[in-house]
Chain A
């Protein structure tokens, strides 16, 4: 039997030998995560649709020119006449403490006291020579307050010069300030004269008859926040405007979705030479958002690819019509160790060039239900190992005006034919409607192009 001391000495040696073996194992494989610094999470600047205002002042401007008189001169109560009383009710029901102020405009603008606006359902309202010559909507725009909701009730008859001037003013005053423009088009019975038709300013007499397809359109043209416009139109529709023969809503806005598509509920459909990892591996702090996917590419992988499917469930109604193809805008950063506790972000063009993305909505036609993103990172072309951040913003590639705009649009060549045969005049169309709406759409797209997705990829690349 060995002595107690010898036994303890040998046991200690044995323990140290074993411990050493385990340390060797650990060191051999390497604790590669030791010393890894986190990288800042994305800035939480979300391009979300704002809420409906708690209380709102609504300014409503009636077009008091002679062209509007036909809407109140038909034998029956016209859709226009039925819509007028609803305008104030829409404000009262839409907002607690909502305040509606009415005006009439033409050559000049005048406030309508009390409930004088209800006179708009009578022909005499349009007989005041001080107001009934020219539809100067630009004066209304000039006067409109951006923090109010402004609604113009008009037949929207404008020549090319009017369209350009109006669109430019709307762009300056509303679109460039992230405000929206809404249009509620409604067909109504009509019996009267239509003035200033076409570039030669012809005048035609028109009786819509009883067929709703031949009714003449009038419009509620609204300027304000997207949420307020949409809410006002919804309340009006619920109060009876949607029961009128044919009506359409279109809102020109930087918002196509209530919130951009995110990774909430997203699925990684394919991954080649790349692993998804928890974002907490790379990000500093406790990131709670759903706009980040984190990946890891092991060393020796020259190209990695992934495919993601995101739910597309926040699309807004009555917004600009767009196709399924999306245009990606990619920004890339590389994490730089400048001695601080976390890596500093440095925009990196080489990293940007190494990443290719494509995206589209599905199905091919609206309503869209999902968004597919394909990403390919050429790791071999990156400036080195480390952590990279990519921001991917997606915007629709193609837009089109809704189908009804084409049906409601009066074209110049038709006017020339009608001048020769006035009895053929089709007053169910609006001169320059397509041009006006197309110009407005172009102004929105050039000033505040809508995004449908804004997400980040954080990618750790081992080399």
Chain B
């Protein structure tokens, strides 16, 4: 029963990732398609492909961070009482790591004439949200209140 719950939490984490992979990133891609003006050096199609690549790479890195957090919380940390567990720095470190995964995309996505920088905002938001939502809803029970705001939503 306990093992099944863990599996479900991990599956939901993956589903959050898939929701971004198949929902948010393609949606952002379409928004950028309507806004971005590339200029002479690159096809808009190629620029969008670069955006999708770095966006998907970023959310994959965030998924890995969320899974690491889950693994650490479930099997890595010892715990008696969550408020004294002192694991928020670890959670924040993984959040920073997920955000850092946006840096290669921000640097390597080709520059454009207009609206190209919006892609950086999307990289940061996507990575942040995948990690945050996954840990908010799917942290191991022992550390379920570690993410900010979790006390308001984690009633199970």
Chain A interfacial positions (CB closer than 8 Å to B): 2, 4, 6-8, 10-11, 14-15, 18-19, 21-23, 25-33, 268-278, 281, 296, 298-299, 301, 306-307, 462
Which chain A positions have C-beta within 8 A of B44?
A: 275-277, 296
Q: How far is the CB of A353 from chain B (nearest CB, A)?
A: 24
> Does B34 contact A299, Cβ atoms closer than 8 Å?
yes
Residue on A with the closest CB to B134? A18
> Does A14 contact B12, Cβ atoms closer than 8 Å?
yes
User: Is B156 an interface residue when CB atoms closer than 8 A count as contact?
Assistant: yes
User: Is B20 an interface residue when CB atoms closer than 8 A count as contact?
Assistant: yes
> Does B137 contact A22, Cβ atoms closer than 8 Å?
no
Q: A7-B5, A11-B12, A18-B133 are in contact. Are A268 and B40 (CB under 8 A)?
A: yes
Q: How far is the CB of B5 from chain A (nearest CB, A)?
A: 6
> Does A271 contact B24, Cβ atoms closer than 8 Å?
no
Which chain A positions have C-beta within 8 A of B31?
A: 29-30, 32
> Does B15 contact A10, Cβ atoms closer than 8 Å?
no
Task: With A30-B31, A298-B36 given, name 18 new contacts (CB 8 A).
Answer: A4-B4, A7-B5, A11-B156, A14-B12, A21-B19, A23-B23, A25-B24, A28-B27, A30-B34, A31-B26, A32-B31, A269-B40, A271-B40, A273-B37, A275-B37, A298-B34, A298-B115, A462-B34
Restricting to B1-47, which residues have a CB under 8 Å from any CB of A? 1, 4-5, 8-9, 12, 15-16, 19-20, 23-24, 26-28, 30-31, 33-41, 43-45
User: What separation, in Å, do the CA atoms of A274 and B30 have in the docked complex?
Assistant: 17
User: Is B84 an interface residue when CB atoms closer than 8 A count as contact?
Assistant: no
> Does A2 contact B39, Cβ atoms closer than 8 Å?
no
Which chain A positions have C-beta within 8 A of B38?
A: 271, 275-276
Q: A18-B15, A296-B44 are in contact. Are A275 and B36 (CB under 8 A)?
A: yes
User: What separation, in Å, do the CA atoms of A418 and B4 have in the docked complex?
Assistant: 115
> Does B1 contact A4, Cβ atoms closer than 8 Å?
yes
User: What separation, in Å, do the CA atoms of A307 and B40 have in the docked complex?
Assistant: 9
Which chain B positions have C-beta within 8 A of A11?
A: 8-9, 12, 156
Which chain B positions have C-beta within 8 A of A278?
A: 43, 45
> Does B19 contact A22, Cβ atoms closer than 8 Å?
yes
24 contacts across the A-B interface (CB closer than 8 A): A2-B156, A10-B156, A15-B15, A18-B133, A25-B23, A26-B23, A26-B27, A31-B26, A31-B27, A31-B30, A32-B30, A269-B40, A271-B39, A272-B39, A274-B37, A275-B36, A275-B43, A275-B44, A277-B44, A277-B45, A296-B44, A298-B34, A298-B37, A298-B114
> Does B19 contact A19, Cβ atoms closer than 8 Å?
yes
> Does B30 contact A30, Cβ atoms closer than 8 Å?
yes
**B20, B28, B38, B115, most chain A CB atoms within 10 A:** B38
Which chain B positions have C-beta within 8 A of A26?
A: 23-24, 26-27
Neighbour of B27 across the interface among A25, A268, A272, A276, CB < 8 A? A25
> Does B37 contact A32, Cβ atoms closer than 8 Å?
no
User: What separation, in Å, do the CA atoms of A296 and B39 have in the docked complex?
Assistant: 11
Residue on B with the closest CB to A301? B37
> Does A281 contact B45, Cβ atoms closer than 8 Å?
yes
Neighbour of A33 across the interface among B16, B33, B41, B137, CB < 8 A? B33
Which chain B positions have C-beta within 8 A of A19?
A: 15, 19, 23
Neighbour of A7 across the interface among B40, B41, B43, B156, CB < 8 A? B156
Neighbour of B8 across the interface among A7, A21, A27, A281, CB < 8 A? A7
10 shortest interchain CB distances as A-B pairs: A22-B23, A26-B27, A29-B31, A22-B19, A275-B44, A271-B40, A275-B38, A29-B27, A10-B156, A278-B45
Residue on A with the closest CB to B23? A22
Q: How far is the CB of A300 from chain B (nearest CB, A)?
A: 10
Restricting to B73-128, which residues have a CB under 8 Å from any CB of A? 113-115
User: What separation, in Å, do the CA atoms of A299 and B45 have in the docked complex?
Assistant: 18
Residue on B with the closest CB to A6? B156
User: What separation, in Å, do the CA atoms of A306 and B16 have in the docked complex?
Assistant: 42
User: What separation, in Å, do the CA atoms of A141 and B121 have in the docked complex?
Assistant: 75
User: What separation, in Å, do the CA atoms of A4 and B27 have in the docked complex?
Assistant: 36
Q: How far is the CB of A408 from chain B (nearest CB, A)?
A: 48
User: What separation, in Å, do the CA atoms of A72 and B44 have in the docked complex?
Assistant: 70
Which chain B positions have C-beta within 8 A of A28?
A: 27
Residue on A with the closest CB to B47? A275
Restricting to B45-91, which residues have a CB under 8 Å from any CB of A? 45
> Does A22 contact B24, Cβ atoms closer than 8 Å?
yes
User: What separation, in Å, do the CA atoms of A298 and B24 have in the docked complex?
Assistant: 21
